[in-house]
Structure 1
Amino acid sequence: MATFDRRDLLKGAGAVALASGLGMPALAQAAGRVVVGTWGGDYARLLTKNIEDPFLKSKGMEVVQDQAGDAPRRAKMVAERRLPRGTVDIQGLSAANMFEMNEAGVIETIDYAKIPNAKNLIPAMKYPYGVGHIYSGNVVIYNPKVITAAPTGFKDWLDPKHGNKIGFIDIQYQSIMIAASLAGTNGASMNDLDKAKEVLMAVKKAGARVYPTNEAFAAAMKNEEIGISAIWKARVVQWQNAGIPCEAVAPVEGIPIYVSGFVIQKNAPNKDNAYAYMNAMLEKAAQEAFAVDMGYNGTVTGLNVAPDLQKRIGFTPEEEKKLRDLDYAFLAKNDSAMKEWWDKVFKA
């Protein structure tokens, strides 16, 4: 289990400054088309609002979103790899799924000389095969009206005593199993799937509920049908802004990080515009807007985020020491088995 290196996260842009003369920047052209694979919902809407409209469409680029869950989009990437030209230029994926698609051999090695704004990219968010866009940490979320004793971590969340007040979001199965592993091992491991299954089956028997989407879960939290779960801290901020009574707790067992980023398919029809999209997403104005609109931390240095907002979306110095990067190789190897168990055993 790797510990998230906060020193790397805070290094200045000088550590990643690109030597001049390595290649011409891929700036948005006055015409052209880029197809973006992404999740739907708020994220897709904010990509349009904060990146596509101000930095790409305003320069004449046509942007088409291919909206779907990450699993079908990853399957399509693999299915299309033998084609000379794929159907998508750039794909939005989690860091774990970026790793998995790199292992599958379907994505480009990033040429950072083609992304001028990469000079400001935090080193920890600069992958050989993808670029981090936003990040947050997995925290316990609870409604104080329903759960009167404040939890301290994942173990408190996954306590069968909460019965049907425990909620899960179906699409978050991977992060749920990581949290359950940490709960079952008192923070010793994120990869103990046997312990995770034991913990989860206990709360299933107690009546825990599974919701198909973030939105369905939020509605259940608002009407007090459920009272406790775990989610990215950014999502807690969004729901607080929407008037949902909920609080975030940094788990004592450790805080797994979540990175959302973008990769370029090897057979992308328009790689230049894919690079232009990456450059636009690293614009400081776009990054600052995502902090305000979505509660995620930006991946470039020098952002101007209001102190009160930074306090809500970020982490204290003590909490920063508990940030943990994920074991992407382990997740790539075990994701299919995790999903199968989740669908056929836990949800059955």
Structure 2
Amino acid sequence: MTMTSRRAFLTGTAAMGATLATPGLLRAQSGGRVVVGTWGGDYARLLTEDVQPVLANAGGYRMVLDTGGATARKTKLITAARVGGGAMDVACLSDTDMYQMYAQDILTPVAELDIPNYANVFDTFVNDYSIPHIYSGMVIVYDTTQVSTPPTSYADLWTEEYRGAVGFSDILFNPVLLAASLAHGGGATDFDTAKDALMELKNAAGGPKVYPSNEAIANAFEAKEIKATLMWKARAYQWSQAGLSVAAATPSEGAIPVTFNAATTRFTQNKPGSAAVLNTMLDPEMQLVFAKAMGYLPTVSNAEISDDMHETLGFTDAEREAFVHPNYGYVAEQLSDTLTWWNQSFKA
């Protein structure tokens, strides 16, 4: 099924449902609990405080959140698929992790679900197996008190200006490799070029520092240990709001997008309820709730952020069209070798 026909299908099924059933009848025939595997913190809080009331009003659905890390969530999904289901109805994962679940045939195709709001998703984020809930892009985040001329390219981090003052987050090794590839003429399936470039950076006097987490990068900025990093633009917005002297520059090579997605499992116990959860997550008002609270952008065209928010965390239409998406299949195939190289060669 093509993208156009799928969207037409989704729109058509939504219209048919509206014609055949009154709201009262829908509430009477639907409802029940929907187990959602998700992150904790602000994400879980917003699901509970903002998404849940809309779900309850729309169809009497009640979310039960199963919070935890992505690795544990993927393990639960794989185990459930092997033994015959039951773990969760909806899974929330990053785009790369979600692709891994799709590759193992754990997810229900979007075309089989009633998700009217999916028709408003930006084309660049559309896939067959999950909804893109929120997004950001990997940009160059720099300390405005230490950098007088803002960077314009990923390649700038290899110049003398940043020698010994670049920090990378350990958990972002995959997009860092993609950025390094783009900076040196490679593409989304050229990690060999990236590895050579990163080793060159490492072997230069005062090579890059690798920090254990995104939060540790923020601490490094605060301590003036680094001048720049490769990071999600949403994080730059959060750190700036918290008082750090940082700004974001979109690279000329094209920003690398990240989406945090949600999908219905093949073994869901409540298919209508899980579809309702996904549809509500794409509601423009709910999209703006997450944008204002977390700094990640709406994935739908009908959720308008303010001019101030757009200036600090948004991307223009041209910048969004220039996004360089990871090749998820390539990333998955290379994962074992990439981790070995990152841990035993680059970080050693």
* Structure-2 change in CA distance of 1:271 and 1:344 (3 Å): farther
Q: Which residue of 2 aligns with 1:201?
A: 199
- Structure 2 residue matching 1:81: 3-state secondary structure: helix
Alignment-mate amino acid for residue 54 of structure 2 = F
- Structure 2 residue matching 1:231: 3-state secondary structure: strand
Alignment-mate amino acid for residue 196 of structure 1 = A
**CA deviation vs aligned residue, 1:137-179 (integer Å, no higher than 9, x gap):** 2110000222334222111124476344211111111111111
How many Å separate the matches in 2 of 1:64 and 1:29? Answer: 23
- TM-score, with normalisation over the residues of structure 1? 0.84
**CA deviation vs aligned residue, 1:12-67 (integer Å, no higher than 9, x gap):** x8896334337989989986333322234443444334424x32467561422321
How many Å separate the matches in 2 of 1:27 and 1:108? Answer: 23
- Structure 1 residue matching 2:253: 3-state secondary structure: coil
How many Å separate the matches in 2 of 1:109 and 1:318? Answer: 30
Shift of 1:228: 0.5
- Is the contact between residue 158 and residue 180 of structure 1 (CA under 8 Å) also seen in structure 2? no
Structure with higher helix content: 2
How many Å separate the matches in 2 of 1:342 and 1:128? Answer: 31
* Structure-2 change in CA distance of 1:156 and 1:81 (3 Å): same
How many Å separate the matches in 2 of 1:44 and 1:347? Answer: 33
Q: Which residue of 1 aligns with 2:90?
A: 90
Alignment-mate amino acid for residue 55 of structure 1 = V
* Structure-2 change in CA distance of 1:156 and 1:16 (3 Å): farther
Residue 17 (1) aligns with residue 11 (2): yes
User: Where does the alignment leave 5 or more consecutive residues of structure 1 unmatched?
Assistant: 1-7
Residue 192 (1) aligns with residue 187 (2): no
Alignment-mate amino acid for residue 120 of structure 1 = N
Q: Which residue of 2 aligns with 1:35?
A: 35
> Which moves more between the two structures, 300-309 or 311-320?
311-320
Q: Which residue of 1 aligns with 2:341?
A: 341
Shift of 1:133: 0.7
User: Where does the alignment leave 5 or more consecutive residues of structure 2 unmatched?
Assistant: none
How many Å separate the matches in 2 of 1:328 and 1:218? Answer: 28
Shift of 1:127: 1.9
How many Å separate the matches in 1 of 2:195 and 2:71? Answer: 22
- Is the contact between residue 28 and residue 273 of structure 1 (CA under 8 Å) also seen in structure 2? no
How many Å separate the matches in 2 of 1:42 and 1:158? Answer: 35
- Structure 2 residue matching 1:268: 3-state secondary structure: coil
- TM-score, with normalisation over the residues of structure 2? 0.84
Output the aligned Cα RMSD. Answer: 3.0
> Which moves more between the two structures, 262-271 or 56-65?
56-65
* Structure-2 change in CA distance of 1:104 and 1:85 (3 Å): closer
Q: Which residue of 2 aligns with 1:216?
A: 216
How many Å separate the matches in 2 of 1:251 and 1:28? Answer: 52
